[in-house]
Amino acid sequence: MSDRQDFPGNRTERPVRDADALLTVADVLSMPAVQAGAPEVIVGGRALDAEVRWAHVSDSAGVARLLDGGELLLSTGAGWPAEREELRAFALGLHRAGLAGIVVELGSPHAEVPAAVVEACADAGLALIALASEVKFVAITEAVHRALIAAQDDALHARQRLHELFTALSLQGAPADVVVAETARALGAPVVLENLAHEVIALEALRMPVAEVLGTRAADAGLRVPVQARGVRWGTLVALDGPAHPAGRITVLEQGATALAFGCLADGGDDEWTLLAHQGVVDDLLGARFATASDIAARLEAGGFRLAGRQCHGIVVRGTGSISELEYRARLAGCAVVAARAGGDDVALLSLPASAVLTDEALTRIAGPGRTVFVGPAVQEVLDLLASLRAARDLAASDRSDSGARVRRVDDRPLERLVATLRDDHRLHEHSERMLAPLVRHDRERRGDLLDVLAALVAHPGNRSAAASASHLSRSVFYQRLTLIADLLDADLDDGETLAALHLALLARRSTARS
């Protein structure tokens, strides 16, 4: 079998009717019944992807009027016109009728396919195959029809399985990210859910880099299906290129979009989508669940959160309030924001102009009345943003006082910032383990509280009464604990350098525990 493609000029490729065609010209060409005729592809390429709905046998010059579209014409050419222009008009007429392709058996009356037919098919992008050996056309038609019936049966069963899958997801109230993931697995291709502002709500990249998925989606590649119901549209479900599906790739995507629309109707809108998207980004950022920094940066940017040329902070907000209100107030303050819950507190990523000043007053307005804000350093890179958020969380973890609304910054805590910068340095953690090992062992074996007592001491240097109060211990018991700590560590707890080293060790230990 050869694939002759030697017809330049202004050739028009025949459009593919459906990427999920049950049967294509190429499929028919591979059948044993066709291969028995020693087929030669005269015009192929994309034309071989045309969908075949039926096989039709005819030598008539007027066969075009009998076609409905999608047929594969099997012919000896016995009744075809003899004149060149008539032959060309005949072939173009078949193309206009929607023919999928022509299979010509050579012999009598044609030892080769007429040049006018070849040229017309090449110009129109209509598949043209010549059979060098005689075959039974009935064997080809039977093979085509059996394949079509089998494919239709597969498609029916595939649609039934899809219906059961997405119905179950809808009835279970599955969140959008689960529906998107199941849609991607069913298609074997990445799937992205975006809202009307083209912000990414959820995605399943499968084995493809996230940044590549989002870049391809931004280029308007792949299939797109609206997510809508009752005349309201909430977004778009996008599937990148992938393998054919028995039920049709567009059908799979439509089923996923329908399940998502039901979820929106049940939840009363797409607000849950935004919260879900932001929760996923924060969880992945804090858990370092990304292959490269560009992946998480692409997700942030796809949600409208830019880092380059901006001033970005990780913050923790403690106190009664809601994520949606926090995001609303941050946007009113001119910040791009991604907020979620983590460890019992609200955490957020803020992006604002590089020249802006993030004052305590602005942070208090963003957080809301009566809430405490812990602010990480300003950064412009993804990994630095992760460090900023972690530093804010470490600062929040070290401060459990109930003194009301206030703003605390990592920049005002030099040791906190040092630990945030060096948190991935093994030497820092070795220092922490070496210094605190006796206390860790004591607390583990005796269910003690020496680490907490030491933390209270370094948090209130020079004021042991306040440290005892923070430990919820009487002064006498607190002093007994300090004596035990000094003995176990063989250290002078009145020495400033020793206290600084212990403070650093405690911060490093807490940082490791939160990673």
pLDDT grade for 222, boundaries at 50, 70 and 90:
confident
pLDDT grade for 462, boundaries at 50, 70 and 90:
confident
Query: Stretch 231-258: mean pLDDT, rounded?
Result: 91
**pLDDT tens-digit profile of 27-80?**
999 999 999 999 999 999 999 999 999 999 999 999 999 999 999 999 999 999
Evaluate if residue 221 carries a pLDDT over 80.
Answer: no
Asked if 439 contacts 485 with a C-beta cutoff of 8 angstroms, the reply is: yes
- For position 21, what pLDDT does the model report? 67
**CATH homologous superfamily for the domain 25-145:** HprK N-terminal domain-like (3.40.1390.20)
| Mean per-residue pLDDT of the chain | 87
- CATH code reported for the domain at 173-274: 3.30.450.40
Looking at per-residue confidence, does 500 or 315 come out higher?
315
**pLDDT tens-digit profile of 245-270?**
888 899 999 999 999 998 888 776 66
Q: What number of residues does the chain have?
A: 515
- For position 14, what pLDDT does the model report? 38
Q: What CATH class has 305-412?
A: alpha beta
Chain centroid, CA 371 distance in Å: 34
Residue 120 CA to residue 6 CA, distance in Å, equals 13
Query: Stretch 346-359: mean pLDDT, rounded?
Result: 94
Asked if 289 contacts 371 with a C-beta cutoff of 8 angstroms, the reply is: no
Single-letter code of the amino acid located at 399: D
Nearest Cα to Cα of residue 49 among 129, 150, 127: 127
- For position 401, what pLDDT does the model report? 63
Report the percentage of the chain scoring pLDDT > 70: 92
Evaluate if residue 13 carries a pLDDT over 50.
Answer: no
Looking at per-residue confidence, does 181 or 229 come out higher?
181
Residue 420 CA to residue 511 CA, distance in Å, equals 8
Query: Stretch 118-138: mean pLDDT, rounded?
Result: 94
Evaluate if residue 188 carries a pLDDT over 50.
Answer: yes
Host H or E run for residue 129: strand 127-131
**Continuous H helices in 333-381:** 360-367
| Domain boundaries, given as residue ranges, for the chain | 25-145, 173-274, 305-412, 426-514
Say whether 327 sits in a helix, a strand or coil. helix
Burial (CB count within 10 angstroms: exposed 0-12, middle 13-18, buried 19+), residue 48: buried
**pLDDT tens-digit profile of 78-110?**
999 989 999 999 999 999 999 999 999 998 788
Nearest Cα to Cα of residue 257 among 217, 227, 222, 224: 227
Report the percentage of the chain scoring pLDDT > 90: 56
Evaluate if residue 155 carries a pLDDT over 60.
Answer: yes
Residue 167 CA to residue 85 CA, distance in Å, equals 57
Asked if 285 contacts 318 with a C-beta cutoff of 8 angstroms, the reply is: no
- For position 11, what pLDDT does the model report? 35
**pLDDT tens-digit profile of 403-431?**
667 899 988 877 776 776 676 778 888 88
pTM of the model: 0.61
Most trustworthy range by pLDDT among 132-141, 229-238, 462-471: 132-141
- For position 117, what pLDDT does the model report? 95
Looking at per-residue confidence, does 514 or 279 come out higher?
279
Evaluate if residue 12 carries a pLDDT over 50.
Answer: no
- For position 3, what pLDDT does the model report? 44
pLDDT grade for 344, boundaries at 50, 70 and 90:
confident
- For position 458, what pLDDT does the model report? 87
Evaluate if residue 7 carries a pLDDT over 50.
Answer: no
Nearest Cα to Cα of residue 416 among 349, 503, 343, 345: 503
Residue 128 CA to residue 92 CA, distance in Å, equals 12
Domains 173-274 and 305-412 share a fold: no
- For position 9, what pLDDT does the model report? 36
Per-residue CA distances from 468 to 15, 273, 439, 460, 486 (Å): 80, 46, 18, 9, 16
- For position 270, what pLDDT does the model report? 64
- For position 160, what pLDDT does the model report? 92
